[in-house]
Structure 1
Amino acid sequence: MMKKLFLFFKALLTSLLLSACCELNTDNIVYIVSTNDMHANVLNHNKQIDLALISGLKKHYDALLFDAGDAVQGAPLAALSDGDDVISLMNAAGYDAMTLGNHEFDYGQNKLFEHAASANFLTLCSNVYKDKKPLLNNLNLPNEGRYAVFNKNGFKIGVFALTTVQTLQSTDYRLLNTLNFENEVKSAKKMLDLLRPLKLDAIILLAHLGCDDAPCTSKNLALALTGVYQDELDLIIDGHSHQEYVKHVNGITISQTGSRLKQVGLNVLNFKASEKPQVKSILLTYEDLLSKGIKPDAQTEELEQKFRHKQNKILQQEIISLPFTLYGGEQYGIDLSRVTETPAGDLAADAIMYALKTKISSNFLKFPAVAIQNGGNIRVNLGPGAVTYASTLYFEPFLNTLTSKLVSPKILYDIFEHSYRYLNNLSAAGTLQNIKDSGGFLQISGLKIILDPNSKPKVKAIFLDGETTALSRYDTKRKIILAGNDFILSGSDGYSILKDIPTLTEFSDEQDALISYLKHLKENDGFTQYLKAQGRISYTQLPKSVSAYVKIRNFHQQNKKLKFHCSVDGEKFLPCFADKNGLLKFELAPGDHILQIAEATQEIYLNTILGIGIKQGSNLSTIPAVELMPTKE
């Protein structure tokens, strides 16, 4: 009931703000529509804001349209065109200016310059220098791309832009060669000194700084503008930290819309009361826009349709071909990656580790590193056969950003204790009872974990790869790099212990990391290691071997043929025999196994720890069944 009341009053407040500050009145008012951290999620999927709707909002209010960075990377639309299609859509939508986020550097400096040159809007950057000159100096932009002045409704609006110095950590260092990032406060003061003689009516900063853990946050910057700089800056359109807020700090309004166009900012500069404008900012959802009668811009919508068709064709292109299935999705009613280590989970975590080590300087990675991927982010199996770009989206659909933090062994123990809290009641036969899945079940890379589900704590030991001594459970001093997606590392899914730990670096997105790693494995013939789970998560008190069974479903239609040819985990095919009921029996080590029967139509996944393949009295419901191929008459 309280939640419903909260949502009601939130909707009411938004409605009142829309009515109060956003009337269609341009006398003494300048409207500014703002976006940030779109990460190429600019097409309308399942009732979300797209650039056609953004363009409609701009036209509805006759507004300026600004972006605070990280626009051209993150979704297939960008990955398949190196961001070109995003720039084309921003052109169609009518953007007026954007700043550079750290991810605008992801395709290299030449591509960044191409994007800025092909944009019909201004790309601004005030604090990055190349060879001691402003970064965008050679692109024929006004004022060397450092600032711009927009004349709107009779008012002169000055705009400059800052990119976080943290980019030096969060972007592949090889792409930043010869670049120098100037301190944000120093650069802001320099720009205000430069703009002061222009007698502007308002000054806006497009800031890719955020409020989280950057060396200089937007709040830090606002607080630093004192003395001669007091009250000179009116509005900060912020980005980088993927958070939703409107703040007022030291007389400056700071607005950030979150990420991936979940919301859009509407900022109002009202010059009625005094020379200094009154600034009001609100964040609008998709539903807010519809309720306000905002219509998508037809031209932008048509271009979106064209790119969606182009994207869908490319998404069917093959990346690699797998000779077997990488299990991790649902099998026999169990979401595997939410309850156990899986081959797909091993690969997903290794892809994050690969991205970390290939995109970040080895000098920066001076501590041992581990990687995690939450099982709830792994939705289907991969393979067998062609793995396309579309397959990777079905596999990991959330397009999260990959980040890293410095943690201690104690924090690692706490994290994994939370991760595996639902593992209970391991029987003497080595099978978990009363399985309860969790989207926060962590797949891991760079370490091994030993669990005892029947005790507290459940995590008995953690070993880093290459080390024979377990980490100390109470060690708070040693530093270890923990890499994973921003959903988990921001403290979601119960991982609150990670929330307040500063981000060390933001280094990739999940899709790019996964696709790059698949291509790497293809070039190095490295897929066979993922035929089955690699034993990174193990259990105490497991039996040496377990009897597992497979049922031949159409056994009686095959003339009671007893002899078959079976392969376990890719080993050589050997004779195997079914009993009179069509049951094949195998003695296996506890864990997951891949069974192939030469005479059958498909491979079989077994997992003795989860009870898949385990015979429980006369109950055969957990015994996988296989169809034999039809025999020739």
Structure 2
Amino acid sequence: MVADAFKQKGEEFANGSMPVVAVENGGGIREKMPNGTITRGDLMAAFPFSNTLYMKVVTPNILYAMMEQSIVEMDGQDPETGMLLQQSNSGGFLQVSGFNVVLDPDSDTVQSITLDNETTPLDRNDTSREILLVGNNYIMSGGSDYSMLSSLPKYGEAGGELETIEAYIQSVDLTQYARPQGRIQYTGGSYQPKDYEATIQVLSTEGSPFANQSVDLVVDGTQEMSVKTDENGYAKVTVSDGAHNIRLQEDNTEIYIDNYLGFGIIEDSIRGSYPVLNTMQTPADQEEPTQPEEDKPQEEQKPEEKPEQEDSQTNDGTETSTETNMALWIGILAVSVVVLIIIGVLIKKKK
């Protein structure tokens, strides 16, 4: 967006006399721009240097040399993730407008530069075609080792950097920047472009991990997806090759992931920590885990209480009722009496 603002300003001066391109060094942008209302305070925080825009006429040969200086700190490319390997964090890496560039990070060379509305790449040996370049006074005066620009005469000054960006924001539809523009491409090496998995972190309003929760995301302003955070609030997001903007559905604040630049791929001194989103949501109640059947505590088995039996058992196991027992004893008693009477009669006869 910033380089586009510079290019628009340069076109007012060129008035169709030559192609216009623009650049902005990454070190000149000190804060992220909010997604939504942008205040002058936001602009001052992002562009605190009060730079002036210089315009200079360059050739294709100089453009190639300038863009090769932009990648001088690169040290190859990871064959698995596509991440550009850097010797240090260079503030001289250029954001561009008005042309597309194809870079080979393995050889630190520019494969091609193609101007907007053209299909044939510029000839790197062309030292005659005139192109108007717009950039801040730091880069155009040779800062960050852009010595190929320092000796060129000024075509003119296009005003203040901050004022130019502010006017541009007020005049265009910024939704076009919901998706990275893809003006810088990479080739060479063994990496083959493919979908990749980036890591982001979601924090609560208190700054603690938004752990073990489902969150709804918007990718590049249009694509919706849901992810689940882990116990530390981290979540994996699978996206297509290249740069993407991500935000929560509930909020306009965006983060940036890019497998080439390593944002969301690795945490180190150059990229810092994984990108962070802050949610206003409160954690959903955790569901009670379902206890496996075999893990459920067994109820204590109480011995079955047998009802009192009115029946008793004889020694041989035969069940008899109380009435049956009484009848039996009466019968035995009667027999005994009869036996005694008979014995008495027999004794009398003997006498």
State whether structure 2 residue 62 is matched by structure 1 residue 401.
Answer: no
Q: d(CA) in 2 for partners of 1:552 and 1:499? A: 45
425 and 367 in structure 1: CA distance in 2 versus 1, 3 angstrom threshold: same
- Could you tell me which residue of structure 1 aligns to residue 104 of structure 2? 452
Partner of 2:129: 478
Deviation digits for residues 103-140 of structure 1 (CA, Å, limit 9, x no counterpart): xxxxxxxxxxxxxxxxxxxxxxxxxxxxxxxxxxxxxx
Once the 2 structures are TM-superposed, how far is the Cα of residue 510 of structure 1 from its aligned partner? 1.2
Number of the residue aligned with 2:152: 501
Residue 355 (structure 1) aligned to one of 9, 31, 52:
9
1:550 matched to 2:204: no
How do residues 71-220 of structure 1 correspond to structure 2 at under 5 angstroms?
Answer: none
Q: 1:433 aligns with which of 71, 85, 90?
A: 85
Measured at CA, do residues 598 and 515 of structure 1 come closer, stay the same or move farther in structure 2, by a change above 3 Å? closer
Q: Cα RMSD (Å) of the superposition? A: 3.0
- Corresponding residue of 1:416: 67
Change (3 A) 1:552 1:387: closer
**Structure number with larger C-alpha Rg:** 2
Q: State the shift of 1:569 in Å.
A: 1.2
Match of 2:181 in 1: 534
Note the alpha carbon deviations across 1:361-389, whole angstroms, 9 max, x for none.
62xx4111111112222111112444222
The residue type equivalent to 1:501 in the other structure is L
Q: Does the CA-based 8 Å contact 1:488-1:495 persist in structure 2?
A: yes
Q: CA deviation at 1:427?
A: 0.4
Cα-to-partner distance string for 1:37-68 (whole Å, 9 max, x where unaligned): xxxxxxxxxxxxxxxxxxxxxxxxxxxxxxxx
Whether the 8 Å CA contact 1:564–1:599 is kept in 2: the answer is no
Q: After alignment, is 385-394 or 463-472 more displaced? A: 385-394
Partner of 1:519: 170
SS at match of 2:74: coil
Residue 380 in structure 1 maps to residue 31 in structure 2: yes
Native 8 Å contact 1:406 1:479 kept in 2: yes
Deviation at 1:349, TM superposition (A): 0.8
Report the 3-state secondary structure (helix = DSSP H, G, I; strand = E; otherwise coil) of the residue aligned with 2:38. Answer: strand
- Work out the CA distance in 2 between the residues paired with 1:611 and 1:513: 31
Aligned-pair CA distance for 1:582: 5.6
Q: Which has the higher contact order (CA 8 A, sep 6+)?
A: 2
- Pick closer, same or farther for the CA change 1:549–1:376 going to 2, 3 Å: closer
- For residues 444-478 of structure 1, the C-alpha deviation after alignment (integer angstroms, 9 at most, x for no partner) is 1100111111114x211111111111111111121
Q: Cα gap change, 1:486/1:622 in structure 2, threshold over 3 Å: closer, same or farther?
A: closer
Q: Is the 8 A contact 2:202 2:210 kept in 1?
A: no
Give 1:352's aligned amino acid. Answer: F
Q: Percent of counterpart pairs with the same letter? A: 35
Query: Secondary structure, in 3 states, of the residue corresponding to 1:433?
Result: strand
Q: Is the alpha carbon distance of 1:366 and 1:611 closer, same or farther for their aligned partners in structure 2, counting shifts above 3 Å?
A: same
Matched letter for residue 154 of structure 2:
T
Q: Aligned partners of 2:44, 2:278: CA distance in 1, in Å? A: 30
Q: Pick the aligned partner of 1:487 from 114, 118, 138.
A: 138
Q: Partner letter of residue 442 of structure 1?
A: L
| 2:343 aligned residue | none
* Superposed CA offset, 1:180-221 (max 9, x none): xxxxxxxxxxxxxxxxxxxxxxxxxxxxxxxxxxxxxxxxxx
Aligned residues of 1:601 and 1:626 also touching (Cα < 8 A): no
- What is aligned with 2:224? 573
TM-score between the two structures when normalised by the length of structure 1: 0.40
TM-score, normalisation: structure 2: 0.69
AA partner of residue 351 (structure 1)? A
- Kindly provide the CA deviation profile for residues 383-435 of structure 1, in whole angstroms up to 9, marking residues without a partner as x: 24442223222222222222212211111111111122112221012112345
Distance 1:348 1:625, change over 3 A: closer
Q: Hey, what does 1:370 align to over in structure 2?
A: 21
Q: Distance in 1 between matches of 2:83 and 2:273?
A: 12
Q: 1:543 to 1:503 in 2, by over 3 A?
A: same
Preserved CA contact (<8 Å) 2:202 2:209: no
How many angstroms apart in 2 are the aligned matches of 1:590 and 1:348? 24
Are the equivalent residues in 2 in contact too, given 1:601–1:627 (CA < 8 A)? Answer: no
Aligned residues: 274
Paired with 1:434 and 1:608, the residues of 2 have a C-alpha distance of 13
